[in-house]
Amino acid sequence: MDLLNTLVDKGLRRELPTREEALAVLATSDDDLLDVVTAAGKVRRHWFGRRVKLNYLVNLKSGLCPEDCSYCSQRLGSKADILKYTWLKPDEASQAAAAGLAGGAKRVCLVASGRGPTDRDVDRVSETIKAIKEQNEDVEVCACLGLLSDGQAERLRAAGADAYNHNLNTSESTYGDITTTHTYADRVDTVRKAHAAGLSACSGLIAGMGESDEDLVDVVFSLRELDPDSVPVNFLIPFEGTPLAKEWNLTPQRCLRILAMVRFVCPDVEVRIAGGREVHLRSLQPLALHLANSIFLGDYLTSEGQAGKADLEMIADAGFEVEGAGEVTLPAHRADVAHGCGSHAEAGCGSHAEGGCGSHAGGGVCGTAGGPAVAEPRTDLVAVRRRGAGTDLAPNA
């Protein structure tokens, strides 16, 4: 297929595809799916080999969020029966992180619900970062605390944070349809604050919220322009008790096409399969490893994921290997100009000069080029987290 040959060539050169080419990937048929995976897999292996980076989430503060993000089980007015608790103490968070690190994770993602941190919250998270790093010298720590005020990113960096996550989630034109308590511009501003402070920026999307192919391409092109080092791709987990509980639009094939499109647009960036992979990719999860080079290990913020042991077996069975603590995730042209775990490089996830690039996840207009397919709801796969952080039970790591 000429399209795929062109996209592979562009990916190996870190050249931005056209919007039409990105849309064409999403419009490919199921008959062509393995060809799409093979092509995007060549780009993935060129930049990242067969390594899979493991990340581990620690939910520092769960529920009771004042924001109204429609996809989130922690949102204002959520009826989802999730765990609700206030801030974990630094030693509690460090203990929770240790379970993931023992399972092979090299990055710990510290997440807290809310609009954004107060200065006191930044102090609290800074103490937590120091506690984790005292016990695990080589660990990468990423904070995800919402919208940042001036100076907060610098304080987190000084405390030892390596990265900051703040997802764009969807296209600018549809952002107001999923959230009204803050704007798309607010999110862009926070990613830029993280970059400016020398933190490795982590920003991604949620697929499955009713968006169009055009929306998906819009948000991924916007991400390329922002130039994060890692792009988490979430697939909506339709929690009962949230406005998007009935959005079951994704098929495993659709998810693979989305991941392939992200890889072609951001070829040399850490593409992470995030929330919802078990719910929507299901038995095709191993194929997704040919597209993404990073996953979350075990459970998510408020939902249960695949058992950590099963994740490790899946990676080995698919012919991949877990990335070691001493290995550098990013390609040399990005990592060489990065701080610590690698902040943004001069060329970007394709280069600004060339024009271009935790959560709960999404869907959209799904199916093949012949028309949308309606996915069967798999509510049996949506399990609320009842263990790990905020409980007395051992985590799934």
Count, residues in the chain: 397
CA distances from 152 to 164, 217, 241 (A): 11, 31, 33
Listed in sequence order, the DSSP H helices in the chain are 2-12, 19-26, 33-48, 90-102, 119-135, 152-159, 175-178, 184-196, 213-226, 252-265, 277-280, 285-288, 308-317, 332-335
Strands 270-273 and 140-144: unpaired
CA distances from 110 to 102, 115, 279, 312, 313 (A): 17, 15, 23, 22, 26
Tokens of 213: 């192919």
Give the three-state DSSP class for 222: helix
Give the three-state DSSP class for 56: strand
Active site residues: 65, 69, 72, 109, 142, 202, 272
